[in-house]
Every structure is written in C-alpha cells, then in structure tokens.
Structure 1
Amino acid sequence: MSDSSSSSSFGRAVLTAGATLAGTYASLAAARWAYRRTLPSPLSLPPALDLEPRPVETPDGRAQCYVRPGTGPPVVLLHSFNAVASSREMQPIAEHLAATTDRPVYALDWLGFGRSDRGPRTYAPALYERQLYHFLDEVPGAPADVVALSLGGEYAAQVALQAAPLVRRLVLVSPTGFAPTQGPSTPGRLGLALADHTGTFELLYHRLTRRASLRDYYARQIFLSPDAIPDALLDYAEQTAQVRGAYRAPLRFVDGTLSVPNVSDDVYARLYRPTLLLTPTTPGSTVQSFERLPAVLSQNARDLSHQALPGGLLPHWEAPAPFFDALDSFLDLH
C-alpha cells in the first residue's frame, strides 16, 4: 500500500472515530440536559432536622442551617462529605441535645450538599473553610462547641487552628486524614476528569444514588451491622441526591481534592483547643483507616484525647449510648 493510500485510510479512520465520539458526546449532553430539567431545586427538599431552618449568606453562596435557640455555649453540628451528605447525618445528635440540654444548637449544610446552594463553583477546602469561619463568626454569637463528622472534621480543625477564639471545644467523629494515603490515584483522577467533561459522571451519579445502591454503600463502608442502617437516613440520602447540581461537590469529594493536605501533622497535631477524637473500636471493612492516629496523639497529648467506640463510622446511629456518654462528658452536658 502506498504512503498516500495509508494516509487516506488513516484519515478516514480518524474522521470516523471523531464522528462517533462527537455523536456519543452529543447524545450524553442531550441526555444530561433532559435529565436536569426534571430535577427540583435543593430547597425543595424537606428540612433534614426538626429544628428551625434558616438561610445563611456566605461569601460563596447561600447555605442552610438549622437552629434551636437556647442558653449557654452553643453547639454547632457539621455533617460529613460523601455522595449524599446532609445534616440528616447529625439527626441523633441534634435530637439528643434538644432533649437533654438548654444549649443553642446549630446544624449547617455545607455548600453543595443538603438544602444549601449547589451551583457551579470551585468546591475546594478553601471554600469550606471560608464558609465555616463566616458561620462561626456571624451566627452563634459566642465561642462554640463544634461536633464534626468525617471530612467535616478537617475543616473544623483548620478553622479552630486559625481562628481559635471562635471555638470552645472540638469533637471529631470518625475524622479523616489518618490514612497513609488519601484520594484516588492519578489515573483515577484523570478518569474522573474525563467523566466530568463528557457528562458521564453526572448521569452515573444520579443512577448510583438510588436507595438499593445507597444501602449497599452504607452496609459495605459505613456501618458494621447492616441491620443498624436506619430508614430515615436512607430515605433522605436518596432524596438529597435527586436535585439540581447534586453531583458537583461529590465529584470533588470522589477525586480527592476536598481533603486538606497533610491534615494530621499540620492541623490535628497543632490544635490548641480541647479536642476529642472518636473512632471505631474495630473499623473492620469501613472505608476509613486510622493508622496515623497514635502518632498524632503522641504529638499533641495536651489537647487531643481519644475514645474508641463500638459501631462503624456513624456511632451516633449505630451505638448511640456509648457515643452520647462520651459526648456528654467531654462537653459537660450532664
């Protein structure tokens, strides 16, 4: 075959492949546009907690918080980050505080989750640190006891380190940042970037956040006992995924860019507010590991304390009695 024939054949193959890819991309774009039109606003979600819902204007958008007025040091609850995160994750803690104390209680939906704004923006640690700093500075009116779950604890600790007068004490429930490595590999990030660019991630996100898939996720990675998975958590998790923009912040969570770099040594080990770390006695098959926890505790023995609890990564749902014993004692709630 001549060079010109080979070149012509190659050109036709490239054009054919290009046309196929363009057609696939156009089909995905059309499907994504059509599906978006069926989705309601995040504010269409019912309140996650039986507390008064209030909007909070932040430098990066409007957030939702839930409030129970009271007296004494305020308590601020911060949910985790995952595909279907919201303040519903903190429901047992909010109900316990409302029933057993007179403290002011606040729960905050992070931007990109729950009933907070989920518009297009750069979801990154700096955004969430700004959101939390603004909230603590403007809303509670006094230094707060902050109870944060999973990755939310990284931002709570960062703000407590940088703006200590806003924080009285910290409780970090199943905090992230203690594993040897964080986030997906470079090929994984590249794959996610491609899936985002083509719209595949958005479509898959809405398919994979149906109730059956969520139950499987909780059973494999969050709860040690599948029988402990509450319907209230599953119901709201499925609802919170089916609103406009729901996939945006979870994409950044999945690709690992929401983690604070070297948080264990640069943040946790340097905290100078009393901080209680609550982790599973036996993490088992859960998605998190706490291998670096002993080293961090030894670096900051004065301000960090640790208690291992039965259950998985949501002990306030799976093993509430020992969880609330630890919480009440540390925050002087008795």
Structure 2
Amino acid sequence: MATTVDPTSASTTDPSTGIGGTVYEYLWTWKKRQLQITYEIMGEGKPILLLPALSTVSTRAEMRGIAELLAPQFQVIAVDWPGFGTSERPPFNYEPSVYYSFLADFVRDTFTEPIVVIAAGHAAGYVMHLAQHKPPMWSWVVLVAPTWRGPLPTAMGENRWFYKILKQLVCLPVLGQFLYFLNTLAPFLTSMYRRHVYSNPNAVTPSLIQQKQRISRQPGARFAPAAFVTGTLDTVKARPQFIDLFQPLPVPVLVVIGEQTPPKSRMEMEVLVSFSGVQKCRLPGSLGLHEEHPAALADAILPFLKKFLSR
C-alpha cells in the first residue's frame, strides 16, 4: 500500500537536489518496509512525469531545466527513485522488481488518467515494461538517451559473476564504504561527466561536481548505485530483449539521441530506432543531454506534447 502526505516544503528547493517546485513525500511499502520517496510538483495543467536517469549521482534535479521550460504550460512531476536522490536509501537488495513495483504504484496513486512520461537513461526499460499494462499508464513516452545495460557490462562485457561479487563488496560495512568513497572522488566524477555525460567539457565545473558529490555521499548512498553500476538493475540481459519491448509499440514513443553519445551506447540507440517503430530525434549532447541541453530538448518535444495533450 502507498499513501501520499502533505508537502514537506512549500518553497523552492536546493537546486542541487530538486527542480524548484513544491516538495512532497510519497510513502511506499516494499516487503513490509515503508520508504519515504521524494517528489516535486511544478506548474499547472496536464501532468507530465519526469524520471531521472539511474546513476551514482541520480537526482530529480537533473530534470530541473526541462521542468522549468514545461511548467508554464503543464504540470510537471519529478521523482527520485528509491535509493537515489533525496529519497530514502535503505540497504535493500536493489533489483528490477523494486523499481517495477515502485513506478507502477506511484503512477496509480498519483494520477487518474494515462500520462506523458519523459524518462532518461536506464529508466527506459522500466517505462517500456509498464507500457504493456492495461489500462495503459502512459499516453505518450519520451525516452532521452535510453540505455539497457549498466556501465560495467557496457565497458567490460558480460562478466556477471564478477559484477555480483563487486556489488557484494561495495555493500560491506567498511571495505564497501571505502570502495564507494573512491568512486565519488571529484576527479573520478569529473572524468565520468566529461567522457560520458556532458558533451561540452567546459560545462563540467567544480561547482557542478560539488553538487553531484553531495548527492552521492548521503547516508546509505552506495547500495542502489552499486546495483546500477554492476548491471543488477538492467531490465534485460541482451539487445533483442530490449528491442522486443518496442514491438509492437503499445503507445507512441519518441527516442532522443545525443549526437556526442559514447560509441557503444550510441550504437545501441541507433539499433533501437532502426528496428522498431519509434519516432526519433537527434540533438546535441551525450548521455546527460536532458540536463545539459534542456532548451533543445524542449524545442524538440513541445510540438508533440501539445499534439498528444490536446486530445
């Protein structure tokens, strides 16, 4: 069972953690444990759900730019995934079933009709699995730089046994905290953002990295990111399974690809748009184009939004 409670704040939020709207807590229960999930609402009108990418520094704040551009015409709702952002981060065994259940419950409890969802990165698999629900949860889906395979499997291949051991090590009390600390040092985060997330290295400023580092070092922060990095949160294990989620398309889908996306991830996105019936759009940017280039993203999707939401 899930319930909503009164706003935790009626003022704008810290730009490093939120989108600048009114903050709410969503109380969600998983295996008899209740979690506090943070979400924000900005604007009025037809609702649009914003789902950030899963990463070590995942936060709804990365959707701030696109939220500010859409809020004058729509009501935007941005949520932090369980174990990420400012949502509660208990030492769960984080796996896909956690996120399938959370997203389904949150949508059912928050909305009364099918909605538009704009999802970044690894959120794509969860959105497309739930697109099969009847009655439908989504009226239209926008996937920004969609991925299906975690960072380590993408970089090093399908050594799942090794990644499972590594995840278990990171979850240990002392050694795990140390290993995770190394993964959140400013030089490592800077390198990650310049190589994979932003297309303009000059945009990766010390203040940006400090914001990301604060997000990554909250109590309990290592458990869910360790699952993501090692591929434990992958909704599929092979490319054909990912493409199957789009055939046939249960709802209209737009896939947005960054022109500077790293080669391996870019190839997977191009294969997806080539072998499915999705609409496609290419914009400047990389895996974090929704955060780095929100104006270009808004310009690309607003015509479609007005079309679908005017029905």
Q: 1:63 aligned to 37, 57, 63, which one? A: 37
Change over 3 Å in CA distance of 1:198–1:67 after alignment to 2: closer
Q: 2:22 aligned to 52, 71, 75, which one? A: 52
Q: 1:114 aligned to 52, 62, 85, which one? A: 85
The one-letter code sitting in structure 2 at the alignment partner of 1:133 is: A
Change over 3 Å in CA distance of 1:178–1:310 after alignment to 2: farther
For 2:184, the equivalent position in structure 1 comes to 209
Structure 1: tracts of 5 or more residues without a match: 1-42
Is the counterpart of residue 189 in structure 1 residue 164 in structure 2?
A: yes
The one-letter code sitting in structure 1 at the alignment partner of 2:273 is: L
Cα deviation code 1:33-55 (max 9, x no counterpart): xxxxxxxxxx9x94522011100
Q: Distance in 2 between matches of 1:309 and 1:243?
A: 33
For 2:283, the equivalent position in structure 1 comes to 309
| Secondary structure of the corresponding residue to residue 132 of structure 1 | helix
| Pairing 1:17-96 to 2, within 5 Å after superposition | 46=14, 47-60=17-30, 61-72=35-46, 74-96=47-69
TM-superposed deviation, 1:57: 1.6
| Secondary structure of the corresponding residue to residue 290 of structure 1 | helix
Moved more, 239-248 or 163-172: 163-172
Is the counterpart of residue 268 in structure 1 residue 268 in structure 2?
A: no
Paired residues in the alignment total 283
Asked whether the equivalents of residues 123 and 252 of structure 1 are also in contact (C-alpha less than 8 Å), the reply is yes
For 2:204, the equivalent position in structure 1 comes to 229
Q: 1:300 aligned to 264, 276, 286, which one? A: 276
Change over 3 Å in CA distance of 1:248–1:152 after alignment to 2: same
For 1:258, the equivalent position in structure 2 comes to 233
Q: Distance in 2 between matches of 1:144 and 1:248?
A: 30
TM-superposed deviation, 1:199: 3.8
| Pairing 1:130-149 to 2, within 5 Å after superposition | 130-149=101-120
Moved more, 288-297 or 143-152: 288-297
Asked whether the equivalents of residues 278 and 308 of structure 1 are also in contact (C-alpha less than 8 Å), the reply is yes
Asked whether the equivalents of residues 66 and 297 of structure 2 are also in contact (C-alpha less than 8 Å), the reply is no
For 1:5, the equivalent position in structure 2 comes to none
TM-superposed deviation, 1:221: 1.7
TM-superposed deviation, 1:173: 0.5
Change over 3 Å in CA distance of 1:225–1:191 after alignment to 2: same
Q: 1:219 aligned to 184, 194, 210, which one? A: 194
| Secondary structure of the corresponding residue to residue 139 of structure 2 | strand
TM-superposed deviation, 1:195: 4.5
For 2:99, the equivalent position in structure 1 comes to 128
Change over 3 Å in CA distance of 1:255–1:218 after alignment to 2: same
Q: Distance in 2 between matches of 1:283 and 1:157?
A: 21
Change over 3 Å in CA distance of 1:210–1:68 after alignment to 2: same
TM-superposed deviation, 1:245: 0.5
| Secondary structure of the corresponding residue to residue 113 of structure 1 | coil
TM-superposed deviation, 1:143: 1.6
Cα deviation code 1:190-230 (max 9, x no counterpart): 34434534742322212431333322210122112211236
Change over 3 Å in CA distance of 1:320–1:120 after alignment to 2: closer
TM-superposed deviation, 1:162: 2.6
- Percent identical among aligned pairs is 27
TM-score, with length taken from structure 1: 0.76
Change over 3 Å in CA distance of 1:231–1:323 after alignment to 2: farther
Q: By percentage of residues, which structure has more helix?
A: 1
TM-superposed deviation, 1:240: 1.3
Cα deviation code 1:54-107 (max 9, x no counterpart): 0012232221110125122x1000011111111011111111112x31x11100
Q: Distance in 2 between matches of 1:226 and 1:149?
A: 20
- Superposition RMSD in Å: 2.7
